[in-house]
Structure 1
């Protein structure tokens, strides 16, 4: 039997950030990480855009590389098959047992596939991207199902193939943007609409690097930002075309014939033949092995945690995609299973566990005061702040817009004259101002539409 003060399940961003946080706060305490994959995710090159908003690189490395500078960390390449929380014991697939004083479950999530068919591919980790590339190189037509970040990136980055994009909403990329921003991006669905600068960016690995050193992962951690940068997403055709099927879902997946290997029956009555179906319809928390222990589970399938990231089981914590927050949230923050939140949660949980062991007071991290996320959609920088789509405001809010076709899209959400959220697309340089105005909740009624007037430097008023 192995034992450690802190045991972490999972080698994704939440798990690695948690381990690094504990190593910094308690370098003399023992840490064991249990990862099914020899590859783990490490955050590097953190660049703070504002006090709360940051960009960072994600590198996929062998676990030995990541933790070679932390002598108190032991890596076990194994899978958890059981938890005895009364005796603080984990059972592993190898037959080994691990005893802990504090346990953090960072087991992530797995793709929510639309069906069980050999022609359905889910994009989740490095192995699934390689499988997608292999199939795409032999494809003329693919159906992409989903409307989140992965689906949007696939539609924009894939070339040499006919794409049928099936979305359940009335506009594209509804996970992140509103119908106005969707219209702003509409022209970028046309292949060949990218600039030389964007094409150059695609050849440069900006954030994620694949450096597989030790065999193949059985279930790797989720892909990070810019996962497609070095992937060759090229089909058989010389040109590309994207057609959209709005407000519908997959009703059935049917066997193929001489014309197409597989058919997709949609709820709008259409039957679409294709070479491959890409299921990008979200994820499900990967916590099934822990549910038999009596742990509280949220409606979305995640392990319910309080503001200290503690589950309902004593000495057991959870972070990242595996957890669901169960405390009274700050007005402009909500949970979204994103890399930024996985990093925040992992680091904060490390502090919480160390404080618990030492009997020290814990204060909730300021990152839970404001939702922040920076990403790219259709090759453009996108910053999301606060209640960026009016979440929780019950349609009782005002919207201010500033749009320059092909250059920028700025939307701010106001309620009772106070800014609640913002969507900033392009190089707007408004991140810091909007963040401060949301946090400070200043009454902006006197500015009216001049708040977004490019000829007026609003920041001068708040210096």
Structure 2
């Protein structure tokens, strides 16, 4: 069995590792534009901030490791043509310019994503950088050495992590985003406000609800111009978001409007023997029960593993994702899963929410900490659709529990009565997950009573 793999970050690495274990006789050709595999881009901010000293720790697999296992690694090779019907790819060696054709029995598309780069005037100026791969990380560190005024464009996970890293490195930092709140896609307002307040206390300039219209400077960026103001800068990092990197198979396989490849539960595309995984494709999203584009490393490794499992015949379906993620910014430990209340409403779902802010363990304990937790649930079914948590103490693992609840279609009533242990060192007799679900039940009971009183 000849297997061609295009791209080798998380999904590609997972697919290859599992194919080697399951089908050791397979002939695997891997085509990768970079000179490395399995780069953990979520560690870029830690690398930029000096928390990670050795860049080797940002990789969990190596080219040499795969070569020793018999994989034909075509590094620094760009696939210039992919013919899914005739089962062949054409790849160019970026070092020599030589172009060759390769045939396959099975094709795995794990081409990942690429940063969104709007056509902003001045984007070609020196020191306007992207943040995605290892080369980007090295370049950001190099340029930051001589920079003092740093502007980060985009207040998603990578953007806010970079803001923290630059500020702790002694830089003057401005964060620009077109939304009115940071982390808008992941958290509702009660959970973003504490982080914004910390940013302001740290001297970070928040330029929110603003759109970048131009970069200005003589050869080198000196200013970022928005629809509401101007900000001095000698380094700009663009973190607006990501788009699927799927141009190589456009028009050959079914895609969403944004270019994300549509796959079935067994990771097969609309073309037989062609599979896709990771940031290049859509995943089944349990809260909405529809396909959604959720570029996360956790999704990628699971999808890559599933490709290997289903490569010969469909045996193991994708269980769906909740888009579960976590983040640490300064003292704030944050995690979310599923839909925020805002996102649920945008998806056309009728939802309600319950919120809890409380000490996490009994008040008689000498040390304590406040936890904020919120759940979002569907009005008609009471099915839990999302959850968020923030605290100065690490309670992020609670979101993994709530992710399981969403995946299994649990209701607020079931969640309220789920059996969790009690020990004063760790929690209260009613665990905070139980309690926020009980709050939701109380809200529902009040609404029923209100309707009944109107009828009377």
Question: Would the TM-score normalized by the shorter structure come out above 0.5?
Answer: yes
Query: Which of the two has greater helix per residue?
Result: 2
- Tell me the residue number matched to 2:354: 400
5+ residue gaps, structure 1: 44-56, 193-240, 356-360
For 2:57 and 2:302, the matched residues in 1 are separated by 14
For 2:231 and 2:433, the matched residues in 1 are separated by 52
Aligned length, in residue pairs: 383
Query: Which sits farther off after the overlay, 337-346 or 313-322?
Result: 313-322
Which of 382, 395, 402 is matched with 1:434 structurally?
402
Offset at residue 185 of structure 1 (A): 1.7
Please give the secondary structure, in 1, of the residue aligned with 2:37: strand
Structure number with greater Rg is 2
Please give the secondary structure, in 1, of the residue aligned with 2:106: strand
For 1:156 and 1:410, the matched residues in 2 are separated by 24
Contact 1:399 1:414 in 2 (8 A): yes
- Tell me the residue number matched to 1:134: 142
Alignment partner of 1:91 is 2:50 = no
For 1:121 and 1:296, the matched residues in 2 are separated by 32
- Tell me the residue number matched to 2:266: 308
Q: Under a length normalisation based on structure 2, what TM-score does the superposition of the two structures give?
A: 0.74
Contact 2:215 2:222 in 1 (8 A): yes
Please give the secondary structure, in 2, of the residue aligned with 1:430: helix
5+ residue gaps, structure 2: 41-55, 93-97, 360-368, 421-426, 438-456
**Match runs of 1:288-437 below 5 Å:** 288-291=247-250, 294-325=252-283, 331=288, 334-355=292-313, 361-366=314-319, 368=320, 370-378=322-330, 380-389=332-341, 391-393=343-345, 394=348, 396-403=350-357, 407-416=370-379, 417-426=382-391, 427-428=394-395, 430-431=398-399, 433-437=401-405
Query: Which sits farther off after the overlay, 393-402 or 297-306?
Result: 393-402
Query: Which sits farther off after the overlay, 101-110 or 27-36?
Result: 27-36
- Tell me the residue number matched to 2:413: 444
**Match runs of 1:238-317 below 5 Å:** 241-256=203-218, 261-268=221-228, 270-291=229-250, 294-317=252-275
Q: Under a length normalisation based on structure 1, what TM-score does the superposition of the two structures give?
A: 0.73
Please give the secondary structure, in 2, of the residue aligned with 1:444: helix
Contact 1:153 1:377 in 2 (8 A): yes
For 1:12 and 1:177, the matched residues in 2 are separated by 27
- Tell me the residue number matched to 1:229: none
Contact 2:416 2:433 in 1 (8 A): no
Please report the RMSD computed on the Cα atoms of aligned residues, expressed in angstroms.
3.3
Query: Which of the two has greater strand per residue?
Result: 1
Which of 2, 8, 12 is matched with 1:5 structurally?
2
Please give the secondary structure, in 2, of the residue aligned with 1:135: helix
Offset at residue 165 of structure 1 (A): 1.0
Offset at residue 374 of structure 1 (A): 3.5
Offset at residue 70 of structure 1 (A): 2.9
- Tell me the residue number matched to 1:158: 166
Residues 305-347 of structure 1 show CA distances to partners (whole Å, capped at 9, x for unaligned) of 233322233322211111234x686646744111111111111
- Tell me the residue number matched to 1:236: none
For 2:285 and 2:31, the matched residues in 1 are separated by 31
Residues 121-158 of structure 1 show CA distances to partners (whole Å, capped at 9, x for unaligned) of 11111211121122222122122111211101011111
